[in-house]
Amino acid sequence: IEALMRFVRYQLGKDEPHFGWIFEDKVGRIEGSPFGEFRRLEADIPLDRVRLLSPTVPSKIVAVGRNYVDHAREHDAEVPEIPLLFLKPPSAVIASGEPIILPPQSGQVEHEAELAIVIGRQARWLSTKEAMNFVFGYTICNDVTARDLQRKDGQWTRGKSFDTFCPLGPWIETELDPADVLLTCRVDSELRQMASTREMVFTVPQLLVFISSVMTLLPGDVILTGTPAGVGSLLPGNVVEISIEGIGILR
């Protein structure tokens, strides 16, 4: 049963990318797509022999701003009465282990540790009761932000959208209960962020209901659920490690 819980995308040598599933420290190829019909082949490839890719290729990444009270406070911002949405482009996605490129236009690039929801089925106008049935699983995201540009522009698009500003992974965990899991962010081993998802202003089902009342969510789409307090600057060479209990570590 446990073997069904973790899905990756990977590349072995110069082969085409494949979806895979993880059993202990091995990867098995998946024929088809985990978002539709698929068959699991034997898990016989050592995990350290493959290159992990982002576990999904989303049509869009819908992010939620100020979804933790203490993070809104650290920026002297109001907690919104309805979820505050913005988009990150799919071109910003990188896999766990890949480098974030600090763009020359910004002098203040910051990390934001977030729980990411991965959509399993096409969704529009979800009710609270059915919302969780449309979740495929959960992964980890770093909502990397050029804070100076976000402030300067008013619109958040530029500050949130540089290439490499959406590290996602390392895999999708399908059996997580997202109501109360611990999330931490370390930069070069220094603890920067620590909170439980219990502290979210809007819960996972509330976000699914709200976002699906605006736009159609497609299989593989990603929803970023906001970051707790403790965001801070990244400098060249820093290593950012975001850990979510029950999922793993995004680096």
In the block, residue with structure tokens 């282990």: 97
Q: Is 193 in the site for Mg ion (CB under 5 A)?
A: no
State which of residues 58, 94, 143, 223 lies at the interface with Mg ion (CB under 5 A): 143
Residue 30 Cβ vs Mg ion, minimum distance, rounded to whole Å = 30
Q: Is 67 in the site for Mg ion (CB under 5 A)?
A: no
| Secondary structure tally for the chain: helices H, strands E | 4, 19
| Mode of pairing for the β-strands spanning 135-142 and 84-88 | unpaired
Smaller CB separation from Mg ion, 56 or 227: 227
Residue 168 Cβ vs Mg ion, minimum distance, rounded to whole Å = 13
150 in Cβ contact with 160 (< 8 Å): yes
Smaller CB separation from Mg ion, 20 or 226: 226
Q: Is 142 in the site for Mg ion (CB under 5 A)?
A: no
Q: Is 110 in the site for Mg ion (CB under 5 A)?
A: no
State which of residues 18, 21, 28, 112 lies at the interface with Mg ion (CB under 5 A): 112
State which of residues 192, 227, 231, 240 lies at the interface with Mg ion (CB under 5 A): 227
User: How far lies 135's CA from each of 42, 167, 232, in Å?
Assistant: 26, 20, 30
Only segment of 78-86, 94-102, 143-151, 202-210 that touches Mg ion (CB under 5 A) = 143-151
Question: Residues near 185 by Cβ (< 8 Å), separated by ≥ 6?
Answer: 111, 113, 142, 191, 192, 193, 194, 230, 240, 241, 242, 243
72 in Cβ contact with 65 (< 8 Å): no
Question: Residues near 216 by Cβ (< 8 Å), separated by ≥ 6?
Answer: 122, 123, 124
CB-closest chain residue to Mg ion = 143
Copy the structure tokens of residue 239: 């290593």
Smaller CB separation from Mg ion, 161 or 227: 227
Smaller CB separation from Mg ion, 112 or 241: 112
Q: Which residues here bind Mg ion, judged by CB under 5 A?
A: 112, 143, 227
